[in-house]
Amino acid sequence: MNERIEDRARIVVAIWKEGSLSAAATRLNTSPATVTRKLRDLENELGVVLFERTTRALRITPTGEELAIRLERGLNEMDCAVQAVRQQDENVRGLVRVSVPPNLAQIFGPMFSRFRSGFPGVQLRVYATEKRLIYATEDIDVLLRVGRLEEEGLVAKPLARFRHVVCGNPDLRRKMRRPADLERAAIAAWASDGPPAPWLLERDGDVVKAAIHPALVTNDYELIAHAICHDQMVGELPGLIAAPLLESGQIVRLLPKWQLPEVTLSILYPAHRLLPSSVRALTAHMRSEFALLAHQPHRKRGCTTGNHPSVL
């Protein structure tokens, strides 16, 4: 989980539990000024008031209480999962070989960093590749994959469901409101093998197959993001990648009333192999990271991931 998100979650829960900013700061071993600033930044980002503050009192709002309850549940789930794994084997060691989609390596990097901090005896060997890997010949312990899975002999555990987002330069906001508007747009499209597929757009149960005419086709989402930001192109990005660009205002969501279908991110490991403690630890860690992401608050431009919410 993003450290800033976890930090903000713990601040909201601490204020709710302690009833004051100063008591929350003491609980979190930080300063009241830091707690105040981070709470204000979060409220500004969400566009809602979580705590009503006067010179004499602090009171949580109904929206704040609903958020605090969800965040506490997510934090408890993450803490319990990490504690359970460490209690099983406090001296987890060994090599874990992980295959990840290259376009999402930037998402997994911080998660792997936090795993290494908790399990310094584990060495991670991460392979960023799109190709289908076979355990018997590739010596892979864990795979992270998006989309439909057809791997025999593997257990697949969903980590998150999210949506890709149709994005563009802010200047295109008024020009791109309907699927038909895409026909005259310069499209940056993703494809691995063969031509890019049409975009399936959903609205109120209706599905439209939008014809696109790509000016750029690539299997690299960073290149698509660059084309969107700098070349006036329209493209679709995974919500996990689009979120920080949307939040910064560099790009905007186009076709706001239409959505691309949800896709599932899963973690896979052998069904009939005794898993080393190092592999069990990494699997539990990744599930706890995404469990906490599932309880993030919805943001102004993007939403959360998890078993039921989607990144938009």
pLDDT tens for each residue of 152-189:
678 888 888 888 999 999 989 888 888 999 988 999 99
- Quick check: is 300 in a domain? no
Contact 110/83 with Cβ under 8 angstroms? no
Q: Are strands 252-253 and 142-146 parallel, antiparallel or unpaired?
A: unpaired
Q: What is the reported pLDDT for 122? A: 92
- Quick check: is 122 in a domain? yes
CA 233, 259, 263, 97 torsion: positive or negative? positive
Contact 275/266 with Cβ under 8 angstroms? no
- Quick check: is 302 in a domain? no
Mean pLDDT of all residues in the chain?
A: 82
Rounded to the nearest 10 degrees, the angle between the axes of helix 32-46 and helix 3-18 is 110
Instruction: Compute the average pLDDT of residues 188-213.
Output: 88
**Domain count within the chain:** 3
Instruction: Compute the average pLDDT of residues 294-301.
Output: 48
Same domain, residue pair 169 and 245 = yes
- Quick check: is 299 in a domain? no
Same domain, residue pair 60 and 190 = no
- Quick check: is 301 in a domain? no
- Quick check: is 117 in a domain? yes
The enclosing domain of 76 has a CATH number of 1.10.10.10
Same domain, residue pair 273 and 131 = yes
As a whole number of angstroms, the distance between CA 229 and CA 162 comes to 22
Q: Who contacts 287 (Cβ-Cβ below 8 Å, separation ≥6)?
A: 81, 157, 159, 267
pLDDT tens for each residue of 205-230:
889 998 888 999 998 888 999 999 99
As a whole number of angstroms, the distance between CA 43 and CA 273 comes to 47
Asked whether the predicted pLDDT for residue 10 surpasses 70, the reply is yes
Q: What is the reported pLDDT for 302? A: 38
Contact 194/166 with Cβ under 8 angstroms? no
| Boundary of a domain, candidates 262, 281, 303 | 262
Same domain, residue pair 182 and 257 = yes
Contact 54/21 with Cβ under 8 angstroms? no
Q: Which domain holds residue 76?
A: 3-86
Same domain, residue pair 72 and 124 = no
Low-confidence winner among 135-139, 142-146, 205-209, 266-270 (lowest mean pLDDT): 135-139
Same domain, residue pair 226 and 179 = yes
The residues with which 123 forms a beta bridge, in sequence order, are 95
As a whole number of angstroms, the distance between CA 244 and CA 206 comes to 29
The residues with which 98 forms a beta bridge, in sequence order, are 126, 142
147: left (phi over 0), alpha (psi -120 to 50) or beta: left
Structure tokens that stand for 165 in this block: 């987002």
- Quick check: is 21 in a domain? yes
Same domain, residue pair 280 and 153 = yes
Q: N- to C-terminal Cα distance for the chain?
A: 17
Contact 160/294 with Cβ under 8 angstroms? yes
Q: What is the reported pLDDT for 90? A: 59
- Quick check: is 303 in a domain? no
Asked whether the predicted pLDDT for residue 22 surpasses 70, the reply is yes
- Going along 15-146, which residue ranges are E strands? 51-53, 58-60, 94-100, 122-128, 142-146
Same domain, residue pair 40 and 108 = no
Same domain, residue pair 255 and 232 = yes
